[in-house]
Chain A
Amino acid sequence: MTNKLDMKKVKVALERKVAQTYEPVKPAMQFGFVHNNVDCIGCRACEIACKDKNGLPPGPRFRRVMYIEGGTYPEVFAYKVNMSCNHCAEPACLPTCPTGAIWKRTKDGIVDIDSTLCIGCRRCEAACPYGAPQWNPKEQIIQKCNLCVDEIDAGRKPYCVMACMMRVLDIGPIDKLWDGSFKTTAIGPHDETVRQVKNMANPELTKPSIAFVPHRKGKVK
Chain B
Amino acid sequence: MSKRYAIFGFITAALIPLVALLAGCGKTGTPEQQAQEGLDSKNHLRATYDPLHFKPAIANATNEQCLACHREVLEDRVRSVSMAGVKAEDTKAWYQQLTTYKGEQDTFHRRHLETPMAKELMNLQCNTCHEGHDPREEAPGSSATAAAQDDRGFTLRKQVNPETTCLKCHGQFPGWELMRLPGTWDEVKHYFKNDCLACHVSTRTQRHQVNYLKADAIEAAAVAAKEGGHGADVCMGCHGGRAWYRIPYPYARNPWPEMPEGTPEWATDRPTHSESRFIKTEPKP
Contact = CB atoms under 8 A, between A and B. Distances in A.
Contact of A205 (B96, B111, B149, B167): B167
A174 to B, nearest CB: 16
B79 A19 contact: no
Contacts, number: 148
B167 to A, nearest CB: 7
Contact of B142 (A22, A69, A126): A69
Interface string A1-38: 00000000000000100111110000000000000000
Contacts of B170: 92, 127
Contacts of A90: 246
A98 B92 contact: yes
B106 A121 contact: yes
A70 B95 CA distance: 43
Contact of B247 (A15, A98, A198, A205): A205
Contacts of B244: 92, 95-96, 127, 206
B88 interface: yes
B139 interface: yes
B91 A119 contact: yes
A130 interface: yes
B156 A119 contact: no
A22 B108 contact: no
A99 B107 CA distance: 13
Contact of A19 (B84, B94, B247): B94
Interface string A76-106: 0000010100000010100111111100000
Contacts of A122: 107-109
B162 A116 contact: no
Nearest to A200: B156
A96 B107 contact: no
B158 A130 contact: yes
Contact of A117 (B86, B95, B98, B142): B86
A202 B246 CA distance: 11
Contacts of B81: 119
Contacts of A207: 246
Interface string B139-152: 11110000001000
Interface residues of B, number: 47
Contacts of A131: 156-158
Contacts of A205: 162-163, 167, 245-247
Given A95-B244, A127-B244, A201 B155 contact: yes
A95 B78 CA distance: 18
B41 to A, nearest CB: 15
A118 interface: yes
B93 A97 contact: yes
A194 to B, nearest CB: 14
A66 B156 contact: yes
Interface string B176-193: 000000000010000000
Contact of A20 (B93, B94, B158, B167): B94
A18 to B, nearest CB: 5
A202 B82 contact: no
9 contacts: A19-B94, A21-B94, A70-B149, A117-B86, A119-B86, A129-B163, A131-B156, A205-B163, A206-B245
Given A98-B91, A140-B79, 10 more contacts: A19-B94, A68-B138, A70-B142, A99-B88, A118-B79, A120-B78, A127-B166, A200-B156, A201-B163, A205-B162
Interface of A: 15, 18-22, 64, 66-70, 81, 83, 90, 92, 95-101, 114-123, 125-127, 129-132, 139-141, 197-202, 204-207
